[in-house]
Amino acid sequence: MSAPEGESEPEGLRKPAGVELGLLRHFPTEWNAQGRLQGRTDVALSAASVAALGALRLPARWRGARIIASPLARARQTAEILSRSGPATVDPRLIEMDFGAWEGAIGADLIADAACAYGPVEGWGWHFRPPNGETPAEMLARVIPALAEAAAGARAPARGEAPSDAPTAAPTAAPNDAETAAPSDAKARVLLVCHRGLMRAIMAAATGWPYLGPEPFRIRRAQVHPVIVAPDGRPIGLGAPEKLEARA
């Protein structure tokens, strides 16, 4: 479950030729604040997150991008508040990892239970399975076709590459203030608003990390994480994260 071999740049970044997509983690919920495993449980954003998102906008390269979200409320709300363009386009393949019987439990309590297999992600491996849940390998397998479809509609070059002559996908959103001063190729970009677990699987494949030992990347909120994918949807590299900006 690793990406093609190659030389690694600092912090695990590799930038081979391919199509660039953006990954953005949803903003926090009350369950996040409580340290509970959410998985596929549909928990809405906290009031504090809604307020924080209202004061932010996407980085310039991503304003006007086509946005696709996980169907869970916390991802849809994050996408809709940032885009200010009505209901989000959703793709069920972007849903979070299924944590099965552990959903709703506090992670620290599970770790403290000697009879429970739950532990830090650095010890999972690709085939770690929560009770009645899914493995990281299964999660990656279901999202790769979604990445391939997104890549087919995203023909904007990665940072530093020459513009593509391929046709661009039509935007799903009407113009709004988030698109002001957007670069000319922004509407050829695709931004996926999803979840930490899903992003971890994508970024693990992009860097060759085997879900064992320290992660060679960091998944931060309020940042777009560019990922380079091959035409078949395989993640093959990462770009440098780009912070959300204060709304003027």
- Taking residues 204-230, report their average pLDDT: 96
Q: CA nearest 224: which of 9, 16, 63?
A: 63
Number of domains composing the chain: 1
**Does residue 7 lie within any of the structural domains?**
no
Instruction: Please check whether residue 6 lies inside any domain of the structure.
Output: no
* Percent of the chain whose pLDDT exceeds 90: 76
Candidate from 85-94, 154-163, 210-219 with smallest mean pLDDT: 154-163
Asked if residue 5 belongs to a domain, the reply is no
Over the stretch 136-195, which tens digit does the pLDDT of each residue have? 999 999 999 999 999 998 764 555 544 433 333 333 333 344 444 455 566 689 999 999
Confidence band (pLDDT; 50, 70, 90) for 106?
A: very high
Q: In the structure encoding, which two tokens stand for residue 13, read together? A: 């970044």
Has residue 9 been placed in a domain? Answer: no
Q: Which of 228, 162, 160 is nearest to 190 (CA)?
A: 228
pLDDT in tens, 46-61: 999 999 999 999 999 9
| Average pLDDT for the chain | 86
Does the pLDDT at position 10 exceed 70?
no
> CATH no. for residue 147?
3.40.50.1240
* pLDDT score of 146: 98
List the domain range (segments joined by +) for residue 114.
14-246
CA pair distance 166, 207, nearest whole angstrom: 27
Q: Specify the pTM.
A: 0.84
Q: What is the mean pLDDT of residues 2-16?
A: 46
pLDDT at position 188: 80
Q: Does residue 173 sit within a domain?
A: yes
Tokens linked to 147: 């990445």
Q: Does the pLDDT of residue 14 top 70, yes or no?
A: no
Residue-level pLDDT at 177: 44
Range from 8-17, 42-51, 80-89, 227-236 carrying the lowest mean pLDDT: 8-17
